[in-house]
Amino acid sequence: MPDQKTLKVLAISGSLRQESFNTKALKAAASLAPDGVEVEFADLSEIPLYDQDVRDTSVPAAAEKLQQQILAADALLIASPEYNFSISGVLKNAIDWMSRLDPMPFADKPGAILGASMGKLGTARAQYDLRKILNALNMHLINKPEVMLSGAHTLFDDDGNLTDEDTQKFLTTMMEALATWTRRLQ
């Protein structure tokens, strides 16, 4: 089998919290990525609230940077907490900015989503909303595995390392599926 090009995956956390379980899950997924996959992390913390008046005059540097990171990536890996039965405002705001830029960077981009929460549903409702939103933007998400991490506060040690073997297996399978899907779509 000939050498394959390294896939560049952009990881986006919908949480700004320092000890975010979603960011920890993304870091764990990155560490479990198969050979030939590099993961870079986006930072949503400087993206201002979407305002069409601002958009009509300029694009904030942080939004432009995210757009360029998404365009340069071969695939996206997005994690969102569940706030009030849906995705976080931070993530929705970033998506709103991206959806109004030219070129719109989500179009035809392969991706995977996941979420981690302390609750029993593990972000199921948020993920279904996120899937609907990204589908409307013509992203091509993997369907399986669905990674909805419940009881997230029990999955990581004090240093933020994923310690649960079953979760490690889920994330490994997801990263392998994302790599396979991305190569198929290229």
Segment 117-133, tens digit of pLDDT? 999 888 999 999 999 99
- Which residues are within 8 A (CB) of 51 and not within 5 positions of it... i.e. 6 or more apart? none
How many CA atoms are closer than 13 Å to the CA of 178, on its beta-carbon side?
37
pLDDT at 2 over 80: no
* Averaged confidence pLDDT in the chain: 96
Whole-angstrom CA distances from 122 to 26, 58, 94, 150 are: 15, 38, 22, 4
User: Is residue 116 assigned to a domain?
Assistant: yes
User: Is residue 2 assigned to a domain?
Assistant: no
User: Is residue 133 assigned to a domain?
Assistant: yes
Structural domains of the chain, count = 1
pLDDT at 1 over 70: no
User: Is residue 51 assigned to a domain?
Assistant: yes
Domain that holds residue 96: 7-185
pTM of the predicted structure, to 2 decimals: 0.96
User: Is residue 1 assigned to a domain?
Assistant: no
User: Is residue 132 assigned to a domain?
Assistant: yes
Element (H, E) at 166: helix 165-185
**Can you give the CATH number for the domain in which 133 is found?**
3.40.50.360
User: Is residue 161 assigned to a domain?
Assistant: yes
Closest CA to 37 of 72, 10, 67, 1: 10
User: If pLDDT is split at 50, 70 and 90, which confidence band does 171 have?
Assistant: very high
User: If pLDDT is split at 50, 70 and 90, which confidence band does 4 have?
Assistant: confident
